[in-house]
Structure 1
């Protein structure tokens, strides 16, 4: 039908601070599953790479260039997957500070899949009580389902081993796909 199918710029934000983390595995799995179903250009913003620089200032112009690029990458995304670890019933302060530095109206109507990982099910409402209100402030279009994982959902080498979690990821993507496809169609109509 057209020479080059439109590609969706899907930016994946991993709020995990370790070079290998459950949060990063979770958002990577969600991104990989979307990429199997839709033509996407995946870009990653990893706190394991930028986390140490985020808290150095309240003025984004004083941040190192690679952190400013990460902020811009999020602000210009067609869609986002955002994942965070849960500490003491909430997302980490540096995760919040990163989003404090995002331009207030940059994410209006951007679809966002929310994900979190924590030590137990006790923190599973973090998506509804912490993440969804944060992204509502930005007037994003948060997807109806979020994905929460616990330590027992992963093997010791950070692979997802819980079949129910994989089913939840699949259902979340299934619900998000019509919205993501509509964005691709709008891109095609513009070009």
Structure 2
């Protein structure tokens, strides 16, 4: 079973809370996804709030969501690994990022591995990972991975991540985090056992 979990593609969903294109937050997500893919075959899906935000911004209940957003929620709930990132906006993640997760089933993320990441104007915002992201996913009883990734504006050049220190942080986050993900998949059964839910 461990061997199966290590070889079958992991279903990875990355959620960008950025409200702009181009986006440093999305560039950071891409870098993390690329690093995960070097360690483990993945079936990656990226959710950009710039694309789907207008479709759910005014919804008050999940029943009011259009099918396109419902499909994205199902992907989040059935992922083997979530990678979530947001720019720091007024001391927290963006409102639309939180609004999206307000629709996620309360018990749909129990024990689900989540790698948290954020971008901000400077290093003083780095604690968003501990003070905002971890409590949110703690509510869902998700397994927030040990190391998060934060990048400042100065870590990018023309929306490309160019900081060796942040790349090293990504390396460490992935190397430390993937064993938890593989164990979760192993404990849940073979990836192929529930591939239809994807």
| TM-score exceeds 0.5 | yes
The TM-score bracket by the shorter chain reads over 0.9
Structure 1 counterpart of 2:32, from 18, 30, 33: 30
Q: Structure 2: 5+ residue runs without aligned partners?
A: 194-198
Q: Deviations over 1:143-169 (max 9, x none)?
A: 11100111100002x111111010000
RMSD: 1.8
CA contact (8 A) 2:10 2:191 kept: no
In 2 relative to 1, CA 189–33 (structure 1 residues): closer, same or farther, beyond 3 Å? closer
Q: How many residues align?
A: 189
Corresponding position of 2:48: 46
Corresponding position of 2:137: 135
CA contact (8 A) 2:7 2:40 kept: no
After superposition, residues 1-191 of structure 1 pair within 5 angstroms as 5-156=7-158, 158-186=159-187, 187-188=189-190, 191=193
TM-score normalised per structure 1:
0.92
Q: Deviations over 1:55-109 (max 9, x none)?
A: 2111122122211111111111111000011111111111111111111000000
Q: State how far apart, in whole Å, the 2-side matches of 1:58 and 1:188 are.
A: 36
CA contact (8 A) 1:8 1:183 kept: no
Q: Structure 1: 5+ residue runs without aligned partners?
A: none
CA contact (8 A) 1:84 1:91 kept: yes
Q: State how far apart, in whole Å, the 1-side matches of 2:49 and 2:8 are.
A: 29
CA contact (8 A) 1:7 1:39 kept: yes
